[in-house]
Structure 1
Amino acid sequence: MSNYQEQLQQLTDFENHYQYDAQYLKDMLTLAYSSYEKFAGFQPMASHRDLLPLEAFWVAKVAGMQTEDCGGCLELTIKMAKEQGVSSDILNAALKGGQALPEALQVVYQYARQVAGQGQVDQEVMDAISESFSKGQLLEFGVIIAATKVFPTVKRAVGMKEACALISVDAA
């Protein structure tokens, strides 16, 4: 099997496992292979977690993804979080705006939304997040929040406009 065929099979397996439409990635593999190679090199960044607690990591990813996407990429994020063991209660609370999250995760949610929104992080939120997380952890938040922008941006670049839909943790 050629490298191309192996990569195509990996994408098909990914689609089947997560019930996710990865056609834009298949198109990139076929039509812009060097771009696909660079994109594939980015993938580890999108899932990198070293310093952050599991729930904080996934709440930040959900919050970041909510600013960029309300369809397939967000649903995929929820499925991956569940697969990693994040509770449905935490994920539902994040999907509903974060108010029902435990206090420490509310701060993570607010922080991630503000960072992803490209505005200034409120000083009160910055102070609270800095009290709970090290500078290294804040940098890791930055990496994962930045990564949430890439997938929806690539999809929008080729005209993929999914209708906004309510995401259900139970359905994910």
Structure 2
Amino acid sequence: MIEWLIRRQLAAFETRWNYPMDYARALLAASRRGFWRFSKILPLAAHREAVPLAAWHAAKLVAVRAEDCGPCTQLVVDMARADGVADALLRAVLADDDAALRALDADAAAAVHFARAWVAAAPELAEARADVQRRFGDAGLASLALAMSAARLFPMIKSALGHAEACRRVQVGAQELRFGKP
């Protein structure tokens, strides 16, 4: 009975976001217990506190892109758009257009700089972290750390289970963008 409900929820998610959930079904079939533990990640992935919405989504987009260049990235873009994040900002993040990003939203630019430094374990990570902490406080820093980590986890699990797709273009509004991993 419970698996029927789970499969129904997975199908609803697929329909809502046009995103394949085959990897989640495979995980459920392989290990019900593992699936339940995996499902506990969902509240973590949705946690946002003290960070502007656009900055939070922008950091997640950088993080997911480090692990994926296809459906997971598209899902993050679609969710950001559904939350009202401007297409121009999403395109600037995906195009690594820092000048446009700074002109559009300084907070999002700071979050992107932090996310990029974190993903690359770059020397400027401490400085970028300090900037985010000044802007958003400890709660905002924690929120970004959780969101970025969770965003990377989904494509990692999907890939490990053999359900990752080949790179593809990402659609932001009416515009298709081709990009690679940063």
Same fold (TM over 0.5): yes
Q: Post-superposition shift, 1:157?
A: 0.9
3-state SS in 1 of match to 2:40: helix
Is residue 8–residue 29 contact of structure 1 (8 Å, CA) maintained in 2?
no
- Within the alignment, does 1:110 sit opposite 2:109 as a pair? no
Distance 1:44 1:98 in 2: 31
**Residue 137 of structure 2 corresponds to which residue in structure 1?**
134
Q: Give the AA of the match of 1:83.
A: A
1:41-70 per-residue CA deviation (whole Å, 9 max, x = no partner) reads 111101111221111110111111111111
Tell me the secondary structure at the aligned position of residue 168 of structure 1.
strand
Report the RMSD for the aligned CA atoms in angstroms.
1.8
TM-score, normalized by length of structure 2?
Answer: 0.86
The number of residue pairs the alignment matches comes to 171
5+ residue gaps, structure 2, are: 177-182
Q: Tell me the alpha carbon deviations over residues 7-53 of structure 1, each in whole angstroms, 9 at most, x when there is no partner.
A: 00000110011110110001111221101000111111011112211
Match of 1:39 in 2: 38
Q: For each residue in 1:109-129, what CA deviation from the matched residue of structure 2 results, as whole angstroms up to 9, or x when unmatched?
A: 111111133444444433432
1:88–1:169 CA contact under 8 A, matched in 2: yes
Pair 135,50 (structure 1): closer, same or farther in 2 beyond 3 Å: closer
Say whether 1:5 aligns with 2:4: yes
TM-superposition CA deviations, 1:109-161 (whole Å, max 9, x none): 11111113344444443343233121221111111111012111111112233
CA contact (8 A) 1:67 1:116 kept: yes
Structure 2 matches for 1:1-172, cutoff 5 A? 2-99=1-98, 100-101=100-101, 102-170=105-173
Percent identical residues: 28
| Aligned equivalents of 1:124, 1:31: Cα separation in 2 | 43
Q: For 2:19, what is the secondary structure of its paired residue?
A: coil
- What is the distance in 2 between the residues matched to 1:107 and 1:117? 15
Gaps spanning 5+ residues in structure 1: where? none
Distance 1:123 1:49 in 2: 22
